[in-house]
Amino acid sequence: MADVMHREFSSFAEFYPAYLSEHSNRTCRELHFIGSTLSLFCLGALVLTANFWWLLAALVCGYGFAWIGHFFFEKNQPATFRHPIYSFMGDWVMYWQMLTGQASF
């Protein structure tokens, strides 16, 4: 499948299989899952404390872990750079699928 960074997509349904192909490395997927989980905890802390530094922490956790996975393990560029909305959506669909056992770690 062509590199997700250099294609245009007409829908999320078209994008998501390409997104998954950019996450074939297990460590990359695990880092995505860890970062997303930490982001959810940070967002919970934001709601409980009304301290907006937790929003920054959520972004750093989510994107930081994912980008480490891509740059050091998957050896590709994150889809966020070219398709930020679809990539964000894909992160959470993949997270849910891993959480519910529909996709492997």
Average pLDDT on 13-40 reads: 96
Residue position matching structure tokens 């950019």: 22
Instruction: State residue 5's pLDDT score.
Output: 61
Average pLDDT over residues 5-33: 93
Distance of CA 96 to the CA centre of its chain: 11
Contact 32, 69 (CB under 8 A): yes
pLDDT tops 50 at residue 1: no
Query: Token pair 């998954």 is at which residue?
Result: 20
Average pLDDT, integer, range 28-56: 98
Q: Give a yes or no: residue 44 inside a domain.
A: no
**Segments forming the whole domain that contains residue 54:** 49-105
User: Residue 38: inside a domain, yes or no?
Assistant: no
State the chain's mean pLDDT as an integer: 93
The whole-number pLDDT of residue 49 equals 98
Indicate the DSSP class of residue 76: S
Rg (CA), the chain: 14
Does residue 79 carry a pLDDT above 80?
yes
Q: pTM of the entire structure?
A: 0.90
C-alpha to C-alpha distances, 87 to 46, 77, 83, 90, nearest whole angstrom: 23, 12, 6, 5
* CA–CA gap between residue 44 and residue 38 (Å, rounded): 10
Residues 6+ apart with CB under 8 A from 89: 12
The domain total for the chain is: 1
Domain assignment present for residue 87? The answer is: yes
- The answer on pLDDT for 23 being more than 60 is yes
